């Protein structure tokens, strides 16, 4: 079984041929795709797609870069969407301190806003007993500190993992998972590749993060879910394993994490 555990199929990059992209994934043997939300509108759009296709599941959540635009009562909206059984996780949520406003006060305000949204959604996930898809960029310490505040009592996957083996161990110690994108096919990504080589077989998933991060040889082009095969091949090469073994481990880990019952 092959799975793309992180896809943004509702993005405009797919508006011309979305059904064709989903069909192509199925023909390539990708049996399940998790459509990951980044704000309220995409939480609704991800659910609508998941309701239409048996092979799709979805998440609900506000991305840190969308936190400032979330309406004050957004948790009630998330709650309403989460009532549907196709919702498998809360995400992507977290902290992203890359490209903060240059003014220090504005930067602090943005960080505060992100932290409030992250904390609120972690509490929400805990209450709903849902796993969490984490987006972390340039905010490693604060992200871990926020998870430590809730005793790491929610199961998390750090998506698009690009950190090295030391940070990987910090997550594993806390009981979390990582997932790898096409970045592991890039020659200039030594940390991600070292982590893909070092990660225990029961602690990782594979994803595309499409339409972004197309793996080599499609780098720079639109990424789509079937490219997860190329991510698996890259991880397999790093570990000297057959790609099918890597894909099966990823699918099995993701099945348990998202609690898919097939």
Nearer to Zn ion, 133 or 197 (CB): 133
Per-residue tokens: 156: 């998390």
CB of 125 to Zn ion, least distance (A): 17
- The contacts of residue 63 (CB under 8 Å, 6+ apart) are 38, 39, 92, 93, 94, 96, 135
> In angstroms, rounded to a whole number, what is the distance separating the alpha carbons of residues 155 and 128?
12
Residues 196, 180 contacting (CB under 8 angstroms): yes
What are the two backbone dihedrals, phi and then psi, of residue 211, each rounded to the nearest 5 degrees?
-85, 10
Q: Which stretch binds Zn ion (CB under 5 A): 68-76, 148-156, 206-214, 254-262?
A: 206-214
Nearer to Zn ion, 96 or 209 (CB): 209
Nearer to Zn ion, 110 or 209 (CB): 209
Q: Is 96 an interacting residue with respect to Zn ion (CB under 5 A)?
A: no
Q: Which stretch binds Zn ion (CB under 5 A): 54-62, 168-176, 203-211, 236-244?
A: 203-211
Of 164, 98, 90, the closest CA to residue 136 belongs to 98
Q: Which stretch binds Zn ion (CB under 5 A): 24-32, 64-72, 144-152, 201-209?
A: 201-209
Q: Which stretch binds Zn ion (CB under 5 A): 16-24, 115-123, 181-189, 204-212?
A: 204-212
> In angstroms, rounded to a whole number, what is the distance separating the alpha carbons of residues 30 and 25?
5
Q: Is 209 an interacting residue with respect to Zn ion (CB under 5 A)?
A: yes
Q: Is 39 an interacting residue with respect to Zn ion (CB under 5 A)?
A: no
Burial 153-178 (b: 16+ CB within 10 A, else e): ebbbbbbbbbbeeebbeebbeeebbb
The footprint of Zn ion on this chain (CB under 5 A) covers a number of residues equal to 1
Nearer to Zn ion, 91 or 243 (CB): 91
Nearer to Zn ion, 212 or 245 (CB): 212
Binding mask 149-168 for Zn ion (x = CB under 5 A): --------------------
DSSP labels, 175-241? T-EEEE-GGGG-TT-HHHHHHHHHS-TTSEEE---BTS-PPTTSTTS---GGGHHHHHHHHHHHHTS
CB of 36 to Zn ion, least distance (A): 5
Residues that bind Zn ion (CB under 5 A): 209
């Amino acid at each position: 079984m092959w799975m793309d555990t992180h896809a943004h199929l509702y993005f405009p990059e797919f508006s011309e041929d979305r059904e064709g992209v989903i069909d192509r994934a199925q023909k390539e043997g990708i049996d399940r795709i998790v459509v990951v939300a980044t704000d309220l509108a995409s939480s609704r759009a991800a659910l609508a797609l998941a309701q239409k296709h048996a092979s799709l599941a979805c998440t609900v959540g506000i991305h840190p870069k969308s936190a400032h635009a979330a309406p004050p009562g957004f948790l009630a909206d998330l709650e309403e969407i989460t009532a549907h059984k196709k919702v498998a996780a809360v995400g992507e949520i977290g902290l992203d301190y890359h490209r903060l406003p240059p003014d220090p006060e504005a930067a602090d305000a943005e960080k505060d806003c992100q932290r409030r949204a992250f904390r609120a959604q972690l509490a929400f996930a805990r209450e709903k007993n849902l796993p969490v898809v984490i987006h972390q960029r340039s905010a490693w310490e604060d992200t871990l500190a926020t998870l430590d505040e809730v005793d790491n009592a929610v199961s998390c996957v750090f998506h698009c993992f690009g950190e090295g083996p030391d940070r990987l161990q910090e997550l594993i110690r806390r009981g979390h998972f990582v997932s790898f994108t096409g970045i592991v096919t890039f020659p200039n990504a030594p940390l991600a590749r070292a982590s893909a080589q070092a990660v225990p077989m029961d602690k990782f998933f594979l994803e595309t993060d499409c339409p972004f991060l197309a793996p080599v040889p499609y780098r720079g082009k639109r990424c789509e879910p079937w490219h997860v095969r190329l991510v698996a091949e890259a991880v397999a090469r790093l570990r000297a394993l057959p790609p099918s073994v890597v894909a099966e481990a990823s699918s099995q880990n993701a099945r348990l994490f998202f609690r898919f019952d097939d």
